[in-house]
Chain A
Amino acid sequence: MIISETAFYLLVTGALILTVLAPVVLIGLFLKDYFSKSIW
């Protein structure tokens, strides 16, 4: 059973969108820790 083109498209683009969001989340968390002086 071959994965359909739609499912393949959703799998790859969904993963790419989530991957791109990761740096935004990490930098946001860093700024929050930085301003609340709780990095370490």
Chain B
Amino acid sequence: MTEFALDTQTALFIIVGFALVWIAFGVWLGRKNKSHEDFALAGRNVGFAFAAATAMATWVTSNTTLVAPQLTYQLGVWGMVGYSFAALGLLLFAPMAKRIKQLLPQGYTSGDFVRLRYGRFAWAVFLVISVVYAFGWLVSLGMAGGILLEALSGLDYYIGMTIILAMCVGYTLFGGLRAVIATDFIQALIIIVGVAVVAYWLIDNVGLTSIHTELSEAHPQLLDLLFPAAVMFLFNNIFFGLGEIFHSNVWWSRALSFRKDVAYKAYLTGGLLWLPIPVVTGFIALAAPQLGIFPASADMIGPAVAASVLGKTGAILVFIVVFSALASSLDSLLAASSDLVTQDIYHKLIKKHASDQQLMRFNRYCLLGIGVMTWLLCLPRIATLGALLNFAGAFVASTIWPIVIGLYWRRLQGTFAGIAMAAGTIAGLIAYFWIGFYVAALVSCAVSGLICAIGIVFNKRQFSWHELQENGQ
């Protein structure tokens, strides 16, 4: 027996097997993609079951399965409760999704909305934020794949990371959003069942009383409800989650792809289904001290506990669960980012009269290019997953107010929206480096909100919703 929970050959067999099955599934689903709208938005006709599952599964990322346990291990009970508050993003996005479908029935991306609502300056700032966030998240997911495989099986980081990326690019390239959503449904089921099995085993074999007693005696700060950094983290995480969902094309493209009467209830259901999962994954980490598990890297605490208590079966289970969680987010982000580049940059700036087939072809090349760039950025392991994730919080939280106000009120104009996003991001980054990761999103959102408020007070012009309809829409 090696020092790893899973032998390298088994891990390689699972990952290659999964890759082949998913890519074949993507090819099969891709048969229905006749137009760019089919490829990018699954024909704008996704039903309730797939819509709710994809909302939930996409939000269950490596962050939920790796970072939620890590933060619980570091911040205690508030780590897992705070993480679960990120469900607010999905819940609050539900009415927004309905509004998006009303305002932009033929829209493609979140960039479309920002460009038409606020003009080119705010659009440029928004695209910079979107690109930084998308690559931050993509790299965090790619790295998580490599780290996970290496930690569980000893498989070389570069090989594991490469296979996961290649698989997600492969099936998204062939199947488009249809493949992303269909695989999300299956991945959602795998994730939930796997997480529940590990948590149940811990409760049944180690016991909640025993874990509580051990933590009370040896690590009381992990059960402390007044842990200042953890309380701050809770609020920061709420704003981070709101910023991620409100601005990202991952969620906008889904809203636009869902059937008209489905968007609202799908996000609401997805959010409610997601809410308890970080508490369950976080709890797994709280059992670590009781079991005498102290991994070298905090972001491997969840898999380390599961692999330890369930042996080889547990290692395989965790491996498949985290692999599914990674894939369900990676594919979504690849598809949404390539849509954004295709629609906002290629179609609106470079080739305004591109045909439908040209758009579909460019979208596929773009997806491949983003996959290659992500792979290159994953080669140096630049940061821990938590650090990378929270760094992006400074960027995305600045978009919350401009997006919400832009969707519902007519008073805020482009210049102030652009300045709000830029200044919010800069302030968030300063807070990140001077104070700590747990305040970056908070500060970014507060500064952006203040500038938006000033913009509303000084603005006299009312935006006309008809301006959101482009020629031909």
Contacts and interface: CB of A to CB of B under 8 A. Distances in A.
B138 to A, nearest CB: 26
A3 to B, nearest CB: 5
A3 B79 CA distance: 13
A40 B45 contact: yes
16 contacts: A8-B223, A9-B209, A13-B203, A15-B277, A15-B279, A16-B200, A19-B192, A26-B53, A26-B188, A30-B50, A33-B48, A38-B47, A39-B49, A39-B50, A40-B32, A40-B47
Contact of B283 (A15, A22, A40): A15
Interface of A: 1-3, 5, 8-9, 11-16, 18-20, 22-23, 25-27, 29-30, 32-34, 38-40
Interface stretch (B100-108, B152-160, B268-276): B268-276
B52 interface: yes
B178 interface: yes
Given A29-B49, A39-B50, A40-B45, A18 B276 contact: yes
B74 to A, nearest CB: 16
A27 B189 contact: yes
B6 interface: no
Smallest CB-CB A-B distances: 7 pairs? A29-B49, A15-B279, A15-B276, A18-B276, A30-B49, A33-B47, A22-B273
A20 B277 CA distance: 10
A23 B225 CA distance: 31
Given A12-B279, A39-B50, A40-B46, A1 B203 contact: no
B152 to A, nearest CB: 22
A8 B212 contact: yes
Contact of A26 (B185, B259, B280): B185
Nearest to A11: B279
Most A CB within 10 A of own CB, among B193, B213, B220: B193
A5 B283 CA distance: 14
A16 B193 contact: no
Most A CB within 10 A of own CB, among B49, B185, B213, B275: B49
A29 B48 contact: yes
Interface of B: 32, 42-43, 45-50, 52-53, 56, 77, 81, 84, 178, 185, 188-189, 192-193, 195-196, 199-200, 203, 208-209, 212-213, 216, 220, 223-226, 259, 269, 273, 275-277, 279-280, 283
Nearest to B43: A40
A38 B192 CA distance: 24
Contacts of B53: 26, 29-30
Contacts of A25: 52, 269, 273
Given A30-B49, A40-B46, A40-B50, 20 more contacts: A1-B225, A2-B224, A2-B225, A3-B224, A8-B212, A9-B209, A11-B279, A12-B208, A12-B283, A15-B84, A15-B276, A15-B280, A19-B199, A19-B280, A20-B192, A26-B49, A26-B189, A26-B273, A29-B53, A33-B47
A14 B226 CA distance: 22
B52 A26 contact: yes
Contacts of A5: 208-209, 212-213
A16 B280 contact: yes
A22 B192 contact: yes
A3 B52 contact: no
A26 B273 CA distance: 9
Nearest to A29: B49
Contacts of A18: 275-276
Contacts of B49: 26, 29-30, 32-34, 39
B100 to A, nearest CB: 20
Contacts of B46: 40
B57 to A, nearest CB: 9
A30 B81 CA distance: 30
A34 B77 CA distance: 40
Given A16-B200, A19-B195, A26-B188, A2 B56 contact: no
A5 to B, nearest CB: 5
Given A9-B208, A15-B283, A1 B224 contact: yes
